[in-house]
Structure 1
């Protein structure tokens, strides 16, 4: 079934879009924060009023259930509102201490827009995820050229069209459609920064293309998120959360839970609860379905291979198995006691599968969770607050939820991003606003310096005075 036809943006077309954005940037970046916020909030109201229309479009293009699509749009609206409201506080000029050596100076730091930001978005969350770059870049005073996934071009176009209704003065937010070649053209199209969300392999190619012109990049790549379940955890609540984190959106979530490490005492009870939930999940394309199709056909063999490899190497499927792969759908699969070097543990599956392995204690759980080359999100389940915070800090990930999954994405003030093969840079929160700016340092001389150092007329006495001050401030031995 054909949903629509969209042009493939070639190099010339992408370059023209960037040039239009460059011209618009002078106007948009010249507005004050209040004027930009007023326009962004007008767009936000449009998204609220037409939420069901956008959700239905997401459902038709990429296949997720309508309620999942509605939830995605709600999150995107929340982040758009936060960015518009908080940009002035985060990015506005602020005084900083000039220190004793600069006592005669007034010191100020401000954050200036970069100019034109390119955004390459994913298909699995075609509104919420790219909005983490789009909204924050716009609020910071940049114009945006957005290449949505080739699996969700109509969603991208809808966003740009509704933005133009709120901001009609200039092409501040544009869309170019196409596949990999269009993304490559955007990388080389003269943008001032590029935000990318997608696989680690594609992220490396994006970096290589951007490196040709020293264009800075923000990479939000894959994940192999782990959850840790302690003996004192509420197993009912933990199982509900982990099941949603693993199987929601048919497992097509960069911060989806793919691995769980459960201490021995809680293992059997936790597995039983997750199994029972997984077996009740409704899969299909109908209005009652809780899981939709696997959007990318080429991912289905990967999911099947990971399941088969886990079983062949000694793992046990307590729910589902290789026969759960029924294109274009995959029914939930729960695997236990899977070897740590199997593909189901080491590689991103991006499907509704979950590996649950037992561990002796929480130390072993952290070690296994951190053994992955990915480092995006994670989760911890325990009744002990101190233990929870200790575990969260020890996990080598950009984000951790305690007694929940993916809850960090609900909080607009928190940064979102990973480490290792999960990428670098941050969207959301103050860090997300600053990600799309350049810091500008300004000093203003208020009176003549008491010690002149930056002059050829300085004397040995000036230098000696400065040395004495430094020794006084920084040379004293601390107490043992």
Structure 2
């Protein structure tokens, strides 16, 4: 067995970023203090005014050029991701390509979504012209995760920038090098002002960002940390958007394509070492196809292996403390009567977690109730899809979900209490830039991506302009006595009918 990768620890005013597969030091970064964070936010204030002044066309042009840099240097970016997360290069490329798609979409659609739009005034205010537009917030603080260090933080950064904001970005202490790579690439395209700045450090640095006077915080991480951020942000009434944990279900109906459903389950559960907030952690399968489905999942899982070599399907568990959570959930499931058809407690060592497929696990077991964030999946038999929906929704989370059904996919998707659902394919909503991304319950609130993501980082500005003087003036102490009964009759005519 190899040595357990230590959590990065500060040495003076710096800390080391380690490769989780080898413990090799891949970079050394500053632990930014609260004063340094506040200074970064102050610099961002001036940069935000300049960036907003470029207008939609100017910002779109810079974002498209940034996208080009990321695309041309994709192998460099993917290597940076692999160095700090241990994931295979092909997985690093997948998340990076999806992030590039989002940059392109946000740059192209920001004006249409956020620009001035006319609104109806109604008959009483017919002499007015009404418009609404979305203005930048100013400075947005983004606190990113380590599991998808390109795709996830750029889901906030990109949309905040496209909306006209400056951004101060704190990546996870496990992936500061990826954050620096992204920020440095942006600085090549936007050298004039510190529109996108990097701060590095631990939880204290993130806490300092929350209290540094930013206009909004976008956080991705655990539910527990999200609650702490909300509490801290409440002191200054700083709004937040939270993308937290999930315990995402997959439903398999009696008419499902079982091969496709099994393949989606295996990939959704085990890719990226199961460190996916929208990955598959629970499967509910119609009793008539349950045995066949389980057999297919077991067979497909046999071809999946964790490791650092080129043939491995996924890499190490990036955060060592998560290994204990994975072991505990598997052990609890087995102790409570569950069976590990593949893997088990012994499949988790001090660096890698091999795939585990669990069946007959009670619904109140940790492996079903709590986010495992590791390469495990529970499969449960249900009498019908009504029972599947009931069990799938019996969770405090509500992030992603998946349905496999040839005839009832849309109906079942509409009944799932989740922010996102894919039908007959795994996690497809994450790759569609026009769709909003986010959850309900303890999975968080607010949305990134799509039009909703652009509006998340802006504020609506309503404008009413009088086009001509109305025959009846209502907003004056000098209005005629006959005005009020006339208005009463008009309102009764318009709205008093049953």
Quickly name the TM-score band, shorter chain normalised.
over 0.9
Question: Where does the alignment leave 5 or more consecutive residues of structure 2 unmatched?
Answer: 1-23
Alignment match of 1:465 (pick from 472, 486, 496) = 486
Q: Is residue 2:99 matched to residue 1:76?
A: yes
2:113 aligns with one of 77, 90, 106:
90
- Tell me the alpha carbon deviations over residues 20-42 of structure 1, each in whole angstroms, 9 at most, x when there is no partner: 00011111111210010001111
Q: What is aligned with 2:442?
A: 421
For residues 345 and 93 of structure 1, the distance between their equivalents in structure 2, rounded to whole angstroms, comes to: 47
Deviations 1:186-238 (A, max 9, x none): 00011000000000000000101111100000000000000110010000011
For 1:302 and 1:282, locate their aligned partners in 2 and report how far apart those are by CA, in whole Å: 20
Structure 2 Cα separation of the partners of residues 405 and 453 of structure 1: 57
Find the partner of 1:272 among 267, 281, 295. Answer: 295
Aligned equivalent of 1:165: 188
Q: Which residue of 2 aligns with 1:397?
A: 418
Following superposition of structure 1 onto structure 2, how do residues 174-185 of structure 1 map, counting pairs within 5 Å?
174-185=197-208
Aligned partners of 2:305 and 2:355 also within 8 Å: no
Q: Give the structure 2 partner of residue 195 of structure 1.
A: 218
How far off is 1:459 after superposition? 3.1
Q: What CA distance in whole angstroms lies between the structure 2 residues aligned with 1:421 and 1:213?
A: 22
Q: 1:448 aligns with which of 469, 472, 485?
A: 469
Partner of 2:163: 140
Distance 1:472 1:63 in 2: 69
Q: State the alpha-carbon separation in 2 of the partners of residues 79 and 460 from structure 1.
A: 58
TM-score normalised by length of structure 1: 0.98
Other-structure match for 1:156: 179
Matched, 1:212 2:241: no
The aligned length equals 475
Aligned-residue Cα RMSD (Å) equals 0.7
Q: How far off is 1:460 after superposition?
A: 3.6
Residue 313 (structure 1) aligned with residue 336 (structure 2): yes
Separation in 2, partners of 1:166, 1:14? 23
Report the Cα distance in structure 2 between the residues aligned to 1:188 and 1:263, rounded to whole angstroms. 49
Displacement of 1:455 in angstroms is 1.2
Quote the residue 1:9 is aligned against: 32
1:283 equivalent in structure 2: 306
For 1:43, the equivalent position in structure 2 comes to: 66
- Counterparts of 1:468 and 1:94, CA distance in 2: 32
2:253 pairs, out of 196, 205, 230, with 230
Are 1:388 and 2:404 an aligned pair?
no
In 1, Cα distance between the equivalents of 2:385 and 2:258? 16
Between the aligned partners of 2:233 and 2:247, the Cα distance in structure 1 is: 26
Q: Deviations over 1:44-71 (max 9, x none)?
A: 0000000010001100111111100011
Shift of the alpha carbon at 1:3? 1.1
**The residue matched to 2:358 in structure 1 has which SS?**
strand
